[in-house]
Amino acid sequence: MSAGISISFSDVAKRYDMRVVFKSVSGEVGPGEVLVLTGPNGSGKSTLLSILCGLVRPTRGEVRHRCGDDEIPRRAWGRHLGVVAPSMAVYDELTAVENLRFFARVRGLSTDTADCDELLSRVGLDPNRKTPVRGFSTGMAQRLKIAQALLHEPEVIFLDEPGSNLDPSGQDWLEAQVEALAADGRTIVLATNDRREMEWGGRRVALVG
Chain residues that interact with other proteins, rule: CB under 8 A: 50, 53-55, 57, 75, 78, 81, 83, 85, 87-94, 98, 102-103, 105-108, 132, 148
Helices 138-150 and 96-106 pack at an angle, to 10 degrees, of 30
The Cα–Cα gap between 76 and 78 comes to 6
Q: Whose Cβ is closer to other proteins: residue 70's or residue 92's?
A: 92
- Between 89 and 208, CB nearer to other proteins: 89
> Which residues are registered as beta bridge partners of 63?
9
CB of 31 to other proteins, least distance (A): 20
Closer to other proteins by Cβ: residue 91 or 208: 91
The DSSP bridge pattern shows strands 60-67 and 70-71 to be antiparallel
What DSSP state is assigned to residue 39?
-
For residue 34, what are the CA distances in angstroms to 153, 178, 189, 205?
Answer: 17, 8, 6, 11
Distance CA 53, CA 157 (A): 9
The minimum distance between CB 63 and other proteins, in angstroms, equals 15
The smaller minimum CB distance to other proteins, of residues 103 and 200, is found at 103
- Minimum Å gap between C-beta 111 and other proteins is 8
By beta-carbon proximity to other proteins, the closer residue of 106 and 114 is 106
Enumerate the β-bridge partners of residue 36: 190, 204
The distance of closest approach from Cβ of residue 156 to other proteins in the complex, given in angstroms and rounded to an integer, is 11
Q: Least distance from C-beta 113 to other proteins, angstroms? A: 15
Taking the C-alpha atoms of residue 127 and residue 73, their distance in angstroms, rounded to an integer, is 36
Beta-carbon neighbour count of residue 14 at 10 Å?
21
